[in-house]
Amino acid sequence: MVTLIVLFAALIILILALAFSKSTSKVMSSNTKPVANLGKDELLSCYLPTQVQQRLSDVSVTWEKKGLKVYQYENGAPALQGQASEFRGRAQLFSDAVATGNASLLLQSVRSSDEGEYTCSISSSAGRGKVNIQLRVAVYSAATFRFSNGTLTAEASRWFPKPNVTWMHQTGIVLNATTNLTTSSAGIFSIISTLNADQSSDTYSCRIENNLVTAIAEATITGADVSGGTYFAFSVASTLFASVYLNTMTSLLCTYYTT
């Protein structure tokens, strides 16, 4: 009986210890699966939710990618000795934000080789912990519209992986369109899609989509004019297919960037 009670007590202590150790790892990210746009800057979100302003010298931040040092902040200053060469001059923290527990990393002019898993670790008087972020890289651009002689044309110049294009009338009816995809020597897709739109006042949406990015571009025709806007949504599923597909294109994308 006594043994049983001791066993139970031990079990409860173990459960409490596990729960406690979990709650001390408070580091979070507003997006653990971001999709960066090749050549553009990407913010990798990482923070320790805290109400109190801490002394900078009490906060240390480490960003790593598979054992490579991406960035480090310690004793109130960047500590960049040993930083992997591919991140030199391209990674930065927001030093004003670090004192409030915000260790988000700005990665500049993203390359396809930046794809992969990053670990952000924060240690401060307010707590400690780490979070993993899976960065994926795609190529995407907004659509622009033209309207003449009853033909509405959408153009988007940079897409990868290969997208699908579908059109819809504002009533929700799917419309037939003619879409031409051309590839640059680097394998980047350029889209020209045309639709018969004989109404002089109407709204259409053109959806450009691949496994990582969905762009919804809306065109409103008023008389001879057309106005439009594009918004983007990103896949949250980290599919093996996506990363395999992009990796096979890595060398091509690098060529694109160096030419």
Ligand X SMILES: *[C@@H]1O[C@H](CO)[C@@H](O)[C@H](O)[C@H]1NC(C)=O
Q: Which is nearer to ligand X, 176 or 201 (CB)?
A: 176
Angstrom distance (rounded) from CA 173 to CA 202: 13
The residue among 177 and 242 lying less far from ligand X, judged by its C-beta, is 177
Lookup result for tokens 């109190």: 52
Q: Which of residues 104 and 112 has its CB atom nearest to ligand X in the complex?
A: 104
User: With respect to ligand X, which residue has the nearer C-beta, 131 or 242?
Assistant: 131
Nearer to ligand X, 98 or 249 (CB): 98
What's the rounded Cα separation, in Å, for the pair 208 and 125? 47
x-or-dash string of contact with ligand X, 155-184, rule CB under 6 A: ---------------------x--------
| Binding piece for ligand X, criterion CB under 6 A, among 2-10, 97-105, 159-167, 209-217 | 97-105
The count of residues interacting with ligand X (CB under 6 A) is: 7
Sheet holding 127-138, edge to edge: 35-37, 127-138, 116-124, 60-65, 68-74, 77-78
Binding mask 39-58 for ligand X (x = CB under 6 A): ----x---x-----------
Give Cα separations from 142 to 109, 159, 175, 209, 228 (angstroms): 18, 10, 20, 12, 10
Our finding on whether 94 is near ligand X (CB under 6 A) is yes
- Find the binding residues for ligand X in span 104-143 (CB under 6 A): 104
The separation between CA 198 and the C-alpha centre of its own chain, rounded to angstroms, equals 38
Q: From residue 4 to residue 43, what is the string marking binding to ligand X with x (rule CB under 6 A)?
A: ---------------------------------------x
Q: Which is nearer to ligand X, 47 or 118 (CB)?
A: 47
Q: Which residue in the block uniquely carries the two structure tokens 């106005």?
A: 227
Instruction: Report the half-sphere exposure of 100 (CA within 13 A, side-chain side).
Output: 6
Least distance in Å: CB of 45 to ligand X? 6
Give the bridge partners for 196, in sequence order.
151
Residue 139, token pair as written in the block: 């190529």
Query: Least distance to ligand X from the beta carbon of 49, Å?
Result: 8
- Computed from CA positions of residues 167, 169, 172, 176, in that sequence, does the dihedral angle turn out positive or negative? negative
The stretch near ligand X (CB under 6 A) out of 8-16, 94-102, 178-186, 237-245 is 94-102
Q: What angle do CA 76, 135, 188 make, to 5 degrees?
A: 130
132 - beta bridge partners?
A: 119
Binding site for ligand X (CB under 6 A): 43, 47, 94, 97, 102, 104, 176
